[in-house]
Amino acid sequence: MRQSQLFTKTRREAPADEVSKNAQLLIRGGYIHKEMAGVYSYLPLGLRVIKNIENIIREEMNAIGGIEMKTSVLQNKEIWEKSNRWSDEVVDNWFKTKLKNGGEVGLSFTNEEAYSNILKQFVSSYKDLPVFPYDFKEIFRNEARSKSGIMRGREFYWKALYSFSKDESEHNAFYEKSKAAYRNIFNRVGIGDKTYITFASGGTFSKFSHEFQTVCDAGEDIIYIDEENKIAVNKEIYNDEIVESLKLEKGKLAEKKAIEVGNIFTLGTKFSEPFDLKYKNEKGEDQLVFMGSYGIGLGRLMGTIVELFADEKGIVWPEEVAPFRVHLLRFGASDAVTKSADDLYDKLRKAGVAVLYDDRDLRPGDKFADADLLGMPVRFVVSEKTLAENKVEVKYRTKGESELMLVEEALKTVTA
């Protein structure tokens, strides 16, 4: 898109009340707008990042049999009473509101109840299982203290998948697949080498749950990493017995701060029981469905990426999540330069490259500063200087030097 049509602007300074790096940079770049503590709107650029992340997750979930749907944001009190999670004494950070007739509804807090209740309508035979529905959704939590910019909000966007299996072994097979899918996701968004599958507290049906923890100083969690095996243990369960049971060596574990970017959990029959979610097996016997849950917070993931890669000049987006692959800068407004830049813009678009075209009448310094702050992976410059050589300047955000290339060459670098 043409930057002249982008209504958001960059700013030199972040609001004083934002301390976290992710929110500071995202606000300065015009990616997000703070509505109130823990609540952010996603502006056009920010939305493009979220959509990219969403698409990656969608592809990976579909690849392991996930089926996308959309559950409602207003949640039914009666359903939550079945699992005994409606009461404020059990869940103290609900957002609830009243209906005109006096009834109460909740604002989507999590999805186990909704899914269990819906699946009850459709699952009755072993032939109906397993099934892996998921959705992307706004979640509301009345946090006593939200913090860290978009990392821990009162409103956030997540992906939640629930697995419904016939028994534990069928569940385990999918659980392992989900681990691989999560690994793919974190690799694709660029944080794979810093993300560790981490043993965390489980529940009635499994000793552990698994978190995907990304090492980062802005993290709220402490984990102990075994670098050799690329696994970690969350501090919340860390003790000698656990370390031993996992066949880890205490001396080899490194303590690090990390951000929980995803988690998977064996639910067992915790919800199928209260919802009476059963199926008939081959023998006609009733069996409880065996469940699991698999979550990823997209806003938190976006914030993590910013925290991890930003430098002193601004954001640095990994390729697959960047709002645009190329940031095309036009210096000067002579007919020749304008035509050349316009042509390149058209060529890039025709080649299917997402490109942000800075066609504004600003000085080079302004455009450079904006390009660095916004953080697209590749920067193209068209100016009198490049035109004189009939070339275009190409620079990667992560590299110091730029180089001059013929247009066809430059196109190749971003279409290959």
Partner RNA sequence: CGGGGCAUGGUGUAACGGUAACAUUUACGAUUCGGGUUCGUAAGACUCUGGGUUCAAAUCCCAGUGCCCCGACCA
Which of 4, 37, 74, 81 binds RNA (CB under 7 A)? It is 37
Q: Does 241 bind RNA (CB under 7 A)?
A: no
Cβ neighbourhood burial of 131 (10 Å; 0-12, 13-18, 19+):
middle
Region of 121 (left: φ > 0; alpha: ψ -120 to 50; beta: rest) is alpha
Cβ-based burial of 185 (10 A; exposed 0-12, middle 13-18, buried ≥19): buried
Pick 352 or 364: Cβ nearer RNA = 364
CB atoms within 10 A of CB 410: 24
* Residue 135 binds to RNA (criterion: CB under 7 A): no
Asked if 332 is part of the footprint of RNA (rule: CB under 7 A), the reply reads: yes
Nearer to RNA, 37 or 173 (CB): 37
The residue among 274 and 332 lying less far from RNA, judged by its C-beta, is 332
Contact status, residue 341 vs residue 382, Cβ threshold 8 Å: yes
Q: Which of residues 190 and 375 has its CB atom nearest to RNA in the complex?
A: 375
Considering only residues 3, 108, 112, 301, which one is a binding residue for RNA as defined by CB under 7 A? 112
- Residue closer to RNA by CB (options 29, 323) is 29
In the list 2, 8, 10, 194, the residue contacting RNA (rule: CB under 7 A) is: 10
| Residue bearing tokens 């940079």 | 25
18, 104, 168, 320: which one contacts RNA (CB under 7 A)? 18
Q: Does 36 bind RNA (CB under 7 A)?
A: yes
Residues 347-386 interacting with RNA (rule: CB under 7 A): 363-366, 368-370, 372-373, 381, 383-386
Minimum CB distance to RNA smaller for 68 or for 311: 311
Cα–Cα distance, 211 to 257 (Å, whole number):
14
Q: Does 312 bind RNA (CB under 7 A)?
A: no
Beta-strand pair 195-203/206-215: antiparallel
Q: Which stretch binds RNA (CB under 7 A): 32-40, 64-72, 176-184, 338-346?
A: 32-40
Q: Residue 18 or residue 319: which is nearer to RNA going by CB?
A: 18
Residue 243 CB, nearest approach to RNA (Å): 21
Least Å distance between CB 166 and RNA? 23
Nearer residue to RNA within complex by CB, 19 or 99: 19
Q: At its nearest, how many Å lie between RNA and the CB of residue 244?
A: 25
- Which of residues 279 and 344 has its CB atom nearest to RNA in the complex? 344
Residue span binding RNA (CB under 7 A) among the ranges 100-108, 139-147, 163-171, 349-357: 139-147
Q: Enumerate residues 278-297 that contact RNA by CB under 7 A.
A: 295
On the CB side of 194, how many CA atoms lie within 13 Å of its CA? Answer: 20
Establish if 30 lies at the interface with RNA (CB under 7 A). no
Both tokens assigned to 275: 């919802």
| Least distance between RNA and beta carbon 126 (Å) | 27
Among 13, 241, 282, 335, binds RNA (CB under 7 A): 13
The minimum distance between CB 181 and RNA, in angstroms, equals: 19
- Which residue ranges make up the site for RNA (CB under 7 A)? 9-20, 36-38, 85, 90-92, 109-110, 112, 141, 143-148, 152, 220-221, 295, 313, 331-332, 363-366, 368-370, 372-373, 381, 383-386, 393, 395, 402
